[in-house]
A and B are shown apart, each in its own frame.
Chain A
Amino acid sequence: MKPDLAPRLRAGNLTVRRGARIIVADANLTLNAGELTVLAGPNGAGKTTLARAMAGLLPSQGSLSLGGTTLAAMSVRERARTLAYLPQGHEFHWPMSVEHIVALGREPHADPFSQITPEDRAAIQTAMEATTTDTLATRIVTTLSGGERARVALARALATQASVLIADEPIASLDERHQLIVMDLLRGIAHQGAAVLAIIHDLTLAARFADRVVLMNEGRIIANDAPIAALTPERIAQIFNISVHRIETPDGPLLIPSRAL
């Protein structure tokens, strides 16, 4: 099922400070080609900070290597072609059309004067179809619903066709159907050879779709394992301060929060 498990993005002893406060402490995390890694943890655990630091968007201490090269040594454009990042919140400041927004994902591939190439067009189309946003192509992005915007934002990140994708809460505002579609899509991209890291809150979806689950709490990585091994009731109680019911189903375990501890 997994073509190869070559490390694509590797963080070694990554520490991020804000002032005197340590937001992420000594994180060791490798994103492998062919794997969907889900990063989960309670609010304020440092998930977004770790994701941004791994994408090279935040100054950090420790080592970061992308495909064997030190991240800091790469040019911004080279990095942009290799690593796509989908921020939380899905900002769209100008009322541009969906196809224009998705086309921005091709920026890292364009030289300053080039027009859109057939390859760009194909990548844009594929990304829009995968996220079911192709029917919205000519719509103005700022007039869309939250869920539609989230899919457009994801399509933009996919259009880059980078070998590493880091997505911060890609399913946060989606309805159930689209949550399943997007999780399936992220896993599909990973199984085609990309290294994918997604921050999500739904532990059942994490258990069901992820190849690996990384749990964070108070700036530290607590677990980094196969979903079943990572998401034990004891660990969930320890990290999230909740008790869960675990129900086995043909699609994998259902983790239903029962009460706050």
Chain B
Amino acid sequence: MAFDRQGSLLTLLLTALVTVLVAASLMTGPAHLGAETVAKSLFSDQGVASIIVRDVRLPRTLLATLIGATFGVAGAALQGLLRNPLAEPSLFGAPQAAAATAAGLMAFGLVSPVSLAVPLGGITGALLSVGALVAIAGRRASLTMTLLAGLALASLAGAAIALVLNLAPNPYIALEIAFWLLGSLRDRSMIHVWIAAPFMVASWVVLAANARAFRALTLGEDAATSLGVNVGRVRIWVVIGVALGVGAAVSVAGAISFVGLVAPHLVRRFYGSDPARTLLPSALAGAALLLAADIIVRLVPGPLEIKIGVITALIGVPFFIAMIFRERQVLEESA
């Protein structure tokens, strides 16, 4: 159908955009390195330039790409499952829950910040939060129920974070956690990439495998079931997929919010609303958004780098409010 060809072209353009942003991200930083130097430093040993490009800029570029894509897919998948354009992991405290768990583990010296236990902790936290949302929102997953459940869970995750900060053994750790919660890709190494990437890739695979089910779910659960979708199983897989991705992302980069809301919404304008069709473009758009945000934080002058989570929230919150206005009619009908 007509969307197919247009869709492939758009996907190509989005991929090109991500590639350009990856290059821009590798060239952005306090040390001025030309395009040629960056390219050479990446693939061969150029001394200090190589250290900057490979050890400082490459990890944050890769993480921005992977994490942005993960949030994009997670948002699109949750929206597909809940049939609701306002669904987003951070709205029900998934990143916060992941952060609280991961931060708790580190604060009390249980694990080192670069051990595999951190993403596992983050995934567990996210699993609890996503699972609770899907369970509370229930079969019909109405807009009101979803938002109310999200509100409750986000508050609970906030309380859990406060508890970790309260009980932190010393003020330095508390401060470090507080900063980490704002989300940042600064000072990450390739170790962080290797720790988180497998979980994020696994989450993409799990969520993409359910793409067709999201499409059938547009007809409601009964019709989807009658079309051969095992809705209960889909629900469990989406919870696992989102938790794997969000938990791993948050445990290396802190709480980054609203990419999962904004990315699917942006691509829907161009790709149409078929939830199966928005997964890949949402991933690309999410990667582009986070890469752009991470370039912005490095370009803003000042003694301290602005946290990337602040940027995404500053863009995401007004966007979310605008969407609530658009959905107001539906909200009022279901109230």
Contacts and interface: CB of A to CB of B under 8 A. Distances in A.
B228 A80 contact: yes
Interface residues of B, number: 22
B230 A76 contact: yes
A242 B84 CA distance: 43
Contacts of A96: 218, 272-274
A174 B229 CA distance: 29
A55 interface: yes
B110 to A, nearest CB: 42
Interface in A88-121: 89, 91-97, 99-101, 104-105, 107-108, 110, 112
A55 B227 CA distance: 11
B9 interface: no
Interface in B182-231: 212, 215-220, 222-223, 225-230
A92 B272 CA distance: 14
Contacts of B273: 94-96
B226 A57 contact: yes
B83 interface: yes
Interface residues of A, number: 33
B229 A93 contact: no
Contacts of A87: 219-220, 222-223, 226
B121 interface: no
Contacts of B230: 76
Interface of A is mostly: mixed
A161 to B, nearest CB: 13
Contact of A85 (B215, B218, B223, B229): B223
A2 interface: no
B48 interface: no
Contacts of A89: 220
A245 interface: no
Nearest to A58: B222
A96 B273 CA distance: 6
Contacts of B272: 95-97, 100
Given A99-B1, A107-B212, A91 B228 contact: no
Given A97-B272, A100-B274, A107-B212, A92 B219 contact: yes
A212 interface: no
18 contacts: A52-B222, A57-B222, A76-B229, A81-B228, A85-B226, A89-B220, A94-B275, A96-B272, A96-B274, A97-B1, A97-B272, A100-B272, A101-B218, A107-B215, A108-B228, A110-B212, A112-B212, A153-B219
Interface of A: 52, 55, 57, 76-77, 79-81, 83-87, 89, 91-97, 99-101, 104-105, 107-108, 110, 112, 153, 156, 160
Given A91-B218, A91-B220, 5 more contacts: A57-B222, A79-B228, A87-B226, A95-B273, A100-B272
